[in-house]
Chains A and B, each alone.
Chain A
Amino acid sequence: MIYSLWIFDRHCIIQQDPKAARPLVGGGTVNLNNDIDSAKLLFGALFSLRNIASKLTSNVNIIDNTSSDLDFQKQNYLRSFATQNYRAHYFETLSGLKFVLLTDPSIQDMQKHLHEIYTNFYVEYVAKNALSPVDFKPGELIGSEKFINSVDSYILSLSVT
């Protein structure tokens, strides 16, 4: 089961996939306003984990582990994190764009689907769209209907749903 898709740019949120997504709700006892900030909470969690991932490894030990000789692939990337109830799959492009998919914890690897969404839909309908802003303003969402619809139908077509 797939719960929601989030796309963050270098700054913070730009798009939450509206149809495949039910709103994320924080809440709890500490701060009721957390409801509004779940995008920021998600971004913060991923950002911290990403830093941990890069902090604990160096290029040296990574060379032992992979045969890749491309410089940019030597970095350690966060793939996913999970709690008992859900799992967040994470994919980051070289331009700092972050794709996050929240799914059931039993679902294994969604990286390739996130990559697919990036190459087939984001690049085609948002990056190549001359009318779409290069840098999204805070609070601004991806407006391209073509993008939203094709991402929706792609996610709903995945066999894991």
Chain B
Amino acid sequence: MTEIIVVTSGKGGVGKTTTSASVACGLARRGKKVAVIDFDIGLRNLDLIMGCERRVVYDFVNVIQGDCTLKQALIKDKRIETLFVLAASQTRDKDALTTEGVRRVLDELIADGFDYIVCDSPAGIEKGAHLAMYYADRAIVVVNPEVSSVRDSDRILGLLASKTQRAEKGESKVQEHLLLTRYSPKRVAIGEMMSVDDVKEILGLDVIGVVPESPDVLSASNAGTPVILNPDSDVARAYDDSVGRLLGETLPLRFLEEPKKGFFARMFGG
């Protein structure tokens, strides 16, 4: 059984690609065969975050248009055996992506025995975002604890409930999960930032992960190494927990409180 997971948000810059890359890595590291696809046609980015930008020869649109085979376009990750990346096209023609074309690529991946297909959605609610979610079984809705991001994600929830194949065919609904990123326990504690519970209450979704705000995310993207692979990072632990929950593990949420600083750290600023 292949599961198709869309990583979406509505608003841009909240961490969709970072999340797609880390979730795909996390699943593959647990032995699953995973393909991660960039749906942001015209603005390819996943390849950079995955660190395979110089190995892109063919892209998603090339496969759909029959310029190459899927095998030729899939980029095999150099770190994890069972992980493959399908890059977005740089073409400006947004119509290059079609419902049937996407279906064919997904079907071929399913026939190839992939366990998970992670669809990295572009921001907005245009065609790319629509197609990224259309065939999804599950959705990870990435949200920052901030008003515009929460509102946009609610809009996305509305689309997941009406504009997906599951909704149109009247099948069981897409399973939705909330993933909070850029969470700052310190600011939550002093009432400057909405808490996990606040966002959860507004959106009415189960929380699959809370990723703390951290400079590790920028360092990871600078290096082209998905942040989940940084063994010293709380961000990596938070993502790995989220992957565990995706796979059905029951894990308590971590990093919701600021780590206690020792005397010296407080004196000299840590």
A and B held together in a complex: no
Which residues of A are at the interface with B, using a C-beta cutoff of 8 A? none
